[in-house]
Copies of this chain bind each other. A is one copy, B any other.
Amino acid sequence: MTHAAHIAARPSRVVIGRVRPEIDGGRFPIKRTVGEPVTVEAEAFADGHDVLGAALLYRRDEDAAWTALPMAPLGNDRWEGSFVPRALGRYAYTVQAWIDRFGTWTRDLSRRIAAGQDIATDLAIGAGLVETAADRAGPEDAARLRSAAARLRGGGPDAGAAALDADLAAAMARCAERDDLVTYDRELWVLVDRERARFSAWYELFPRSCASEPGRHGTLADCAARLDYVAGMGFDVVYLPPIHPIGRTNRKGRNNAPVAEADAPGSPWAIGAAEGGHDAVHPQLGTLEDFRRLVARARELGLEVALDLAFQCSPDHPYVAAHPEWFRWRPDGRVQYAENPPKRYEDIFPLHFEGDAWQSLWEELRRVVLFWIGQGVRIFRVDNPHTKPFRFWEWLLAQIRAEHPDVLFLSEAFTRPAVMYHLAKLGFAQSYTYFAWRNTKDELERYFTELTRTEVAEFFRPNLWPNTPDILTEYLQTGGRPAFIARLVLAATLGASYGIYGPAFELCEARPREPGSEEYLHSEKYEIRHWELDRPDSLRHLIARLNRIRREHPALQADRSLAFHPVDTEALIAYSKRTEDGANIVLVVVNLDPHHRQAGWVTLPLEGLGLSPHEPYQVHDLLTGTRYLWSGARNYVELDPHGLPAHVFVVRRRIRREQDFEYYL
């Protein structure tokens, strides 16, 4: 007996496992936006051949009680259920399963009846089950169940039919004890964000380059005036590099020169000067009042202002004198500057997140975020989060989310995949990606399959940038305007969220600082630029069209449906996105070769797209308005980079035929 005592009395026979989605054993949440369904799969089984039942349980964080939804069997012991989070915040979910003794009994009884067997004893067993349930039921069900049990006990020709009655089954599902009920041993959770976390078009610009005339330092007021131009292209988010006072000590000059010219404006990321630090506005840009006006004007235009969170200091930042405990000190009595040996960034002091004063530092940084939230900011782009401790982000993001669940953070971590994914797991709503360096068909297909078709899609929301102030890729440098268009279409359609750094992008600025460099010549990081926005070769109208297409086509507003389709030409890539109900299907074909006309045959999975192999269908190019009649799985495509190197088709199943003619019938 001593040995058997190791086993808990009457252990359950039911096993629940392989619950999906589940990130790292439940350590991290999955992500959804309000209204976006959470579909949960699980394995649930028992020994033997009994019928099982399974339920998906979910609740909002604040709720005490679970809501239970039945899960449907998918075969091979897999079950599926789905719920839709309707509010911002956190939801929990888990799975229950049990042995459905009455369901087992009715399944067996119907087989016995079909085989013409005597069922007298079986009816007595069933009556016992029903009576036991009646003892647990409310008065109404109890009466119904007792009457059913009496009919089973009575036997006779109708007893079998009575036993299999649907009302009885429903009453038993309500009242019968769930034998061997097991709850999965983990509560999994969902972070629910607003829609912008999933679907957004970003435009990055430097306010100081927004002056209407060359040579003048632009202001936040100039920037506010520029918003019409940005909104006219259909963007949702306008992201500003840091707007704070810029340090003078070791200031970088134009083209990242180690010694600044006298009039060099400095890098906006060298934050802090006598005029203030992370909660101040650079005097040449204006005042906090100007900033609030900018935010208000953006809101009028349907735009949101995103600020940069770059948690580092220039040597002139007020923190350095007031809080030496927030920095690391070298044996030579100086503050440790940023470095990646042998490179030194002596204009930047990192904050010492792990020093003895870590708690007061973390609190201060939280105060900075809350300060800008107080000014109306709801989106932050976080500079190099991978150089600060993971736990800091986990803490900060949870802190902010608890009070402001509508605030979103974009992670700017261009580092190793494990680190990028980990930051996303910690709570960043969106993440920069390797998109800029994925230029061939194979690279794009493999990377975006990983991002959208694996577990990664549950916690990592990609934001695709073909360029940034730091990244002017060789593809853009060498491919000319066709390369910019191809990358624009890819970004805007592969990613439900994408962004460009403008006006460099729409004006196809492609000159590197030096051959082999990805940095811009005359980078706006170190000098003020004046852009000719009205140049006739600007891509602004194409961008506006693409953003309108994105708004009008819900298929492009999420990433999980992305599917690549074979094309027998290496330079052509084809993919589609569709809404869950299949009502909206967008098919994109891009010529990745910016130099040559390319043609080939695209093969579509007709059944997967809900298309008939026997009837033609229409593909309507939303960029040009041209419509093509296609039929069957394989169709011809030809794209000239010097015209438009891409098709963005909406696929229409229904072609007008003779039956649609009003006299046909």
A interface residue numbers (CB < 8 A to B) = 1, 3-7, 10-11, 13, 15, 17-18, 24-25, 43, 45-49, 76-78, 107-109, 111-112, 114-115, 117, 121, 124-125, 128, 330-332, 339-342, 354, 358-360, 362-363, 366, 386-391, 395, 399, 416-419, 422
Query: Given A395-B7, A416-B76: A48 and B366 within 8 A (CB)?
Result: no
**In the assembly, what is the distance between CA of A387 and CA of B48, in Å?**
4
Cβ B419 vs Cβ A47 within 8 A: yes
| Min distance, Cβ A590 to any Cβ of chain B, angstroms | 29
Cβ A387 vs Cβ B13 within 8 A: no
Looking across the interface, which residue of chain B has its beta carbon closest to that of A49?
A: B340
Query: Given A121-B332, A363-B1: A24 and B13 within 8 A (CB)?
Result: no
Looking across the interface, which residue of chain B has its beta carbon closest to that of A331?
A: B124
Query: Contacts of A419 on B, CB cut-off 8 Å?
Result: 45, 47, 77
| Min distance, Cβ A603 to any Cβ of chain B, angstroms | 22
| Min distance, Cβ A113 to any Cβ of chain B, angstroms | 9
| Min distance, Cβ A34 to any Cβ of chain B, angstroms | 26
Query: Contacts of A114 on B, CB cut-off 8 Å?
Result: 342
| Min distance, Cβ A162 to any Cβ of chain B, angstroms | 18
Cross-interface CB contact of A418 among B76, B358, B363, B391, cutoff 8 Å: B76
Cβ B3 vs Cβ A331 within 8 A: no
| Min distance, Cβ A140 to any Cβ of chain B, angstroms | 28
Query: Contacts of A5 on B, CB cut-off 8 Å?
Result: 359
Query: Contacts of A418 on B, CB cut-off 8 Å?
Result: 17, 43, 45, 76-78
Please state the number of chain copies in the assembly. 2
Query: Contacts of A112 on B, CB cut-off 8 Å?
Result: 341-342
Query: Given A10-B354, A15-B422, A341-B112: A3 and B363 within 8 A (CB)?
Result: yes
Known contacts A47-B390, A77-B417, A77-B419, then 10 further A-B pairs from the complex at CB < 8 Å, ordered by chain A residue? A4-B359, A7-B395, A15-B422, A25-B25, A45-B419, A45-B422, A46-B390, A48-B386, A76-B418, A121-B331
Query: Contacts of A117 on B, CB cut-off 8 Å?
Result: 342
Cβ A389 vs Cβ B4 within 8 A: no
Looking across the interface, which residue of chain B has its beta carbon closest to that of A48?
A: B387
Looking across the interface, which residue of chain B has its beta carbon closest to that of A12?
A: B391
Query: Contacts of A11 on B, CB cut-off 8 Å?
Result: 389, 391
**In the assembly, what is the distance between CA of A109 and CA of B341, in Å?**
8
Cross-interface CB contact of A13 among B7, B341, B354, B363, cutoff 8 Å: B354
Query: Given A128-B331, A422-B45: A10 and B115 within 8 A (CB)?
Result: no
Looking across the interface, which residue of chain B has its beta carbon closest to that of A330?
A: B121
Cβ B47 vs Cβ A387 within 8 A: yes
Looking across the interface, which residue of chain B has its beta carbon closest to that of A419?
A: B45
Cβ A3 vs Cβ B47 within 8 A: no
| Min distance, Cβ A178 to any Cβ of chain B, angstroms | 15
| Min distance, Cβ A333 to any Cβ of chain B, angstroms | 10
Query: Contacts of A128 on B, CB cut-off 8 Å?
Result: 331
Cβ B4 vs Cβ A395 within 8 A: yes
CB-CB nearest 3 A-B residue pairs: A115-B342, A108-B341, A4-B359
> Which of A1, A341, A417 has the most CB atoms of chain B within a 10 A radius of its CB?
A341
Query: Contacts of A331 on B, CB cut-off 8 Å?
Result: 121, 124-125, 128
| Min distance, Cβ A265 to any Cβ of chain B, angstroms | 29
Cβ B388 vs Cβ A47 within 8 A: yes
Cross-interface CB contact of A77 among B24, B124, B416, cutoff 8 Å: B416
Looking across the interface, which residue of chain B has its beta carbon closest to that of A339?
A: B108
